[in-house]
Amino acid sequence: MGRPSRRAATAALETHIAVLKGEPLKAALATALREAEGLGGQERRFVAMAARELSRHQRLLDLAARQLGHSPGKHVLTEDQALVRYTLWRRLFCGESWARIGPEVKLPGPVRPRTLHDAVLEGLVTKPLAEPPPAEGPESVVERLATRYSFPGWLTQRLSQVYPEGTLAGLMASLDEEPSLHFRARPPGTRDAVLAALAEEGVAAEAVPCAPDALRVADASHRIFESKTMKARRLQVQDVGSQLIVLACLPPGATLAGLAVADVCAGAGGKTLGLADLVGAKGKVLAGDRSKRRLADARDRVREFGLKQVAFPHPVPLDAVDVVLVDAPCSGTGSLAREPDQKWKLSAKAIAEFQATQSTLLAEVAAQVKPGARIVYATCSVLPEENDAVVEGFLQKHPGFALEPVGEEWAPELQVGVDGPYLRALPPRVPGGGFFAARLVRKAG
């Protein structure tokens, strides 16, 4: 988790305060780290971890604060609320005493203004905490899971209607953890050689069986980023589910080599890179995105990896490609481990708005593709409103398209994410975030 210090605590608290004031966690963290002076690598890791943890465990930390007489509603200042959460997180999740926590939070810092005296914060660490009474009644399961994994009640309620309790508990636990780093070996089919090269450099890594090129590092040293293998562009950071979505673009029993593929919601280009490796030097990947900022990131990554087969035309000529990947804007409920602040910003209304946007986007793409072309619709959501319902609603309105099962052509050991005709990568069975994909084919004529 890195090395805690007073300066690291300051940066973590400043990040959380910015989040409480409405700024996205990623942006707030980037700003805090950029403005922090003299932080070492281990301190920076601690800042990033602590900032995510304060959002990730928000509900549980606030429950403990209420039991100790410091309900969030009583705090006059946002800085006070952040200090209480940080102090309790260090106590409850790090197991630290006041002797260790005190130097990180005592006056005159780490943040001002504040109304809390040091004695108040010390009491948060030293006073006993009673076990909350067990929830009773028909809502007990939802309440218990929502509290244990710090999820909004309405979202837990909705998930409980979709997944049985055992599956739901595993899913919520995975989305409540600091995510592991997963990588994709490049070019495709060279994972064993990449693992051997890493082993020669002293970097312990292992294969992830859910995807043919996926691997993870077995230690937390982050030496892999300084390895010759990484610098030679033999590795790309990419979630396992994201890798599976790229594989879903493969035509059954065939390859993408030499074909033209469009990535219309390319974002920062993670899946664009994977598609480029599959189409090869003789193929073409046409990438676009409504966000110019994110597309600029994709251009930089493509340039960094030296991929000449990727272009960024505007608009993307969808009638000239064989496969279109629609990685649609979504709630990100499958990515809450990486962006835990998002679960407190979501609402049922927002989910309905995402569904409308997804349906419109899918229909717009469908109107442009040629007969025989495939559309791969994908999200990083675990909610059926954004997944199955969008696909089924599309098929009802577009009889010229057929649902083509995903994954039938994959090796048996890769079947863990396949659910009927869909790819449904759910943690912890598939490590990493939660992803969905469906493959649609435009019928001839």
Domain boundaries, the chain: 6-126, 142-176, 182-237, 240-442
Q: How far is CA 267 from CA 291, 296, 301, in A?
A: 7, 9, 11
β-bridge pairing 235-237 and 435-442: unpaired
pLDDT band at 2 (very low <50, low <70, confident <90, very high): confident
With 90 as the cut, is the pLDDT of residue 418 above it?
Answer: no
Q: Given the residues 210, 265, 330, 380, select the one marked as catalytic.
A: 380
User: pTM of the entire structure?
Assistant: 0.93
Count of beta carbons in the 10 Å neighbourhood of residue 128: 6
> What architecture is domain 6-126?
Orthogonal Bundle (1.10)
240-442 CATH: 3.40.50.150
Judge whether 29 and 15 are in contact, CB under 8 Å: yes
Structure token digits, residue 247: 């594989």
The answer to whether residue 380 is catalytic is yes
Residue 151 has pLDDT above 80, yes or no: yes
For residue 140, pLDDT over 90 is answered with: no
327 is known to lie in a ligand binding site: yes
pLDDT-based confidence at 218, cuts 50/70/90? confident
Confidence of residue 74 (pLDDT cuts 50, 70, 90): confident
pLDDT at 136: 61
Handedness of CA 64, 67, 70, 71 (dihedral sign): positive
- Please tell me the distance from the alpha carbon of residue 151 to that of residue 193, in angstroms, as a whole number: 41
289 labelled as ligand-binding? yes
Q: What is the pLDDT of residue 254?
A: 85
The lowest-confidence range among 129-133, 148-152, 264-268, 286-290 is 129-133
